[in-house]
Amino acid sequence: MQAQAMESRERIDGKVNESRAAALLGLSTQKLRRLSAESGLGQPDVESGGAQLVFTYAELYRLCRLATEAGS
């Protein structure tokens, strides 16, 4: 039940945590963090004390484009 509440909150906030973002982009969390640092996309998640990143859907789109360009 708690996982459903968290997923609902993420959808309402319009943000995706780094583990979900990595899965959606087909990257490891380590590669996602590196790409995030290089691009300046993503924000520290306040609820995790900044230990994890969160991304808006617009940032995910930009990260997806960057990841495909880097892979080409």
Residue 18 is inside which H or E element, if any?
Answer: helix 18-25
Structure tokens at 4: 């459903």
Distance (Å, whole) CA 31 – CA 18: 11
Q: What is the pLDDT of residues 33-50, one digit of tens each?
A: 999 999 999 999 888 888
- Find the largest Cα–Cα distance for the chain: 41
pLDDT averaged over every residue in the chain: 84
Long-range contacts formed by 8-14: CB under 8 A, 24+ apart: 14/56, 14/57
| Cα angle for residues 17, 9, 48 (degrees, 5° grid) | 45
pTM (predicted TM-score):
0.75
